[in-house]
């Protein structure tokens, strides 16, 4: 990497930099305050336990929960596994049906697939072109044997927010449990599990300016009292639901991250949505650009845009890795399959392949955004200038009528 190459990070939905204030809070718990929070008979343990209790209050407050409803995990993936498998196990005598949505994160979808292999029935609800589910369809899908509805609070690729309060109302009326993956939401917009009637909810440190390797599962203790079957056997930590010595520095970190996020949330959401709108408006000056997902019910910091007839991965090469964004072409895997989330919204392969996701964050500046928009816009124009498909489009040829040779 050359010394004068700029690096601009606009991929905050993948992970965030840790806030220095979080690091500062964590540091003593690696060294002199190193005790095991389960050591009940000496001060080393008490100091660690006290720090964990305090963090439990901090994260509970962020989502309007009671601190006794917080279970610390290694991140959202583990919390999701514990919530879904744990409920499926615990409520097996009540029923074997789970409802989720096609646009959920892989951690949810693959957990559901694993359960299907064990005889659990799963319904995957479709979404409309904005990424929203049909609430009437959700209600009609609930059976007497349904034990859980798993719906993410907001989507990681598009930022579309699901109406959790309405969904909670349906689930509570029907007497089924509601789990929500709030990984992209916690610390960014207000969440209140009680007001939304959510019984289980997860989030992770590393997407809210905290550390990697620590997350939270909220499990309701009252109206109703929910239990999940532990997925790991051991010392019975976390009220028996998640064994294993607690990651005290990580827990202190996610606690501090929650506290900071709560304090700055309103102002920061306003700042980011203004920046996001600036990005979008600039791109919409170009020809043939569409914003994917719901442009009203959405997170403030993310935009997902398709630049028609421009291949996303190729576009990213034009800015020479200077700007870190995500594209809808999943070229990380062996397959060339484009984003299943965008496809679920009804985008064709071409539009999905031509999409970029820009997710802004706490450390994103105005100046960085201006620079990125300029670079990306230039890249789009360059890609189009050398594209035979763009030329044909400009000549008014209906690309759908073209017979491409097959080989």
Ligand X SMILES: *Cc1c(COP(=O)(O)O)cnc(C)c1O
Q: Which residues are catalytic, by number?
A: 331
Q: Are 104 and 77 in contact (CB under 8 A)?
A: no
Residue closer to ligand X by CB (options 77, 96) is: 77
- By CB under 6 A, name the one of 96, 103, 180, 184 that touches ligand X: 184
Residue closer to ligand X by CB (options 107, 316) is: 107
Q: What share of the chain is helix, strand, coil (3-state, %, to 5)?
A: 40, 15, 45
| Cα 163 versus chain centre, distance | 16
Give the contact letters, 199-238, x = binds to ligand X (CB under 6 A), - = no. Answer: -----x--x-------x-----------------------
Scanning 70-78, 168-176, 264-272, 309-317 for contacts with ligand X by CB under 6 A, the matching segment is 70-78
Residue 139 to residue 160: CA distance in whole angstroms: 20
Asked if 157 interacts with ligand X (CB under 6 A), we say no
Residue 298 to residue 83: CA distance in whole angstroms: 25
Q: Which helix (H) or strand (E) holds 100?
A: strand 97-101
Residues near ligand X (CB under 6 A), total: 13
- By CB under 6 A, name the one of 12, 103, 132, 156 that touches ligand X: 156
- By CB under 6 A, name the one of 12, 16, 58, 76 that touches ligand X: 76
Nearest to 371 by CA among 325, 328, 327: 325
- By CB under 6 A, name the one of 75, 159, 168, 379 that touches ligand X: 75
Residue closer to ligand X by CB (options 158, 306) is: 158
Alpha-carbon Rg for the chain, nearest whole angstrom, is: 23
Task: Work out the number of other CB atoms within 10 angstroms of the CB of residue 342.
Answer: 27
Asked if 152 interacts with ligand X (CB under 6 A), we say yes
Task: Count Cβ atoms within 10 A of the Cβ of residue 400 and give its class: 0-12 exposed, 13-18 middle, 19 or more buried.
Answer: exposed
Residue closer to ligand X by CB (options 2, 332) is: 332
Q: Which residues bind ligand X (CB under 6 A)?
A: 75-77, 105, 107, 152, 156, 181, 183-184, 204, 207, 215
């Amino acid at each position: 990497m050359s010394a004068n190459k700029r690096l601009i990070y606009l991929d905050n939905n993948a992970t965030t930099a840790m806030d220095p204030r979080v690091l500062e809070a964590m540091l003593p718990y690696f060294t002199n305050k190193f005790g095991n929070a389960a050591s009940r008979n000496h001060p080393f343990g008490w100091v660690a336990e006290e720090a964990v209790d305090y963090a439990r209050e901090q994260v509970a407050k962020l989502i309007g929960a009671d601190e006794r409803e917080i279970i610390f995990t290694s991140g959202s993936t583990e919390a999701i596994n514990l919530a879904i498998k744990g409920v499926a196990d615990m409520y097996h005598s009540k029923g074997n049906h789970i409802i989720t949505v096609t646009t959920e994160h892989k951690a949810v979808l693959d957990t559901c697939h694993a359960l299907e292999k064990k005889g659990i029935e799963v319904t995957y609800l479709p979404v409309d072109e904005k990424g929203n589910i049909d609430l009437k369809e959700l209600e009609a899908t609930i059976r007497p044997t349904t034990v859980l509805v798993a719906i993410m609070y907001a989507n990681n690729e598009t930022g579309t927010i699901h109406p959790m309060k309405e969904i909670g109302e349906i689930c509570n009326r029907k007497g089924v449990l509601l789990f929500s993956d709030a990984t992209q939401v916690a610390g960014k917009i207000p969440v209140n599990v009680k007001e939304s009637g959510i019984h289980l909810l997860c989030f992770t440190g590393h997407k809210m300016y905290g550390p990697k390797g620590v997350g939270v599962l909220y499990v309701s203790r009252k109206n109703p009292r929910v239990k999940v079957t532990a997925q790991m056997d051991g010392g019975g930590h976390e009220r028996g639901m998640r064994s294993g010595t607690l990651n005290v520095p990580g827990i202190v970190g996610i606690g501090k991250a929650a506290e900071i996020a709560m304090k700055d949330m309103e102002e920061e959401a306003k700042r980011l949505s203004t920046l996001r709108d600036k990005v979008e408006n600039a791109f919409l000056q170009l020809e043939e650009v569409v914003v994917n997902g719901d442009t009203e019910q959405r997170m403030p910091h993310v935009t997902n845009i398709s630049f028609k007839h421009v291949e996303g991965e190729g576009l990213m090469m034009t800015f020479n890795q200077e700007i870190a964004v995500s594209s809808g072409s999943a070229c990380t895997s062996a397959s060339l399959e484009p984003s299943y989330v965008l496809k679920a919204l009804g985008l064709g392969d071409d539009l999905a392949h031509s999409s970029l996701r820009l997710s802004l964050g706490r450390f994103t500046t105005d100046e960085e955004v201006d620079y990125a928009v300029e670079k990306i816009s230039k890249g789009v124009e360059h890609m189009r200038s050398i594209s035979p498909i763009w030329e044909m489009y400009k000549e008014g040829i209906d690309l759908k009528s073209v017979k491409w040779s097959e080989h």
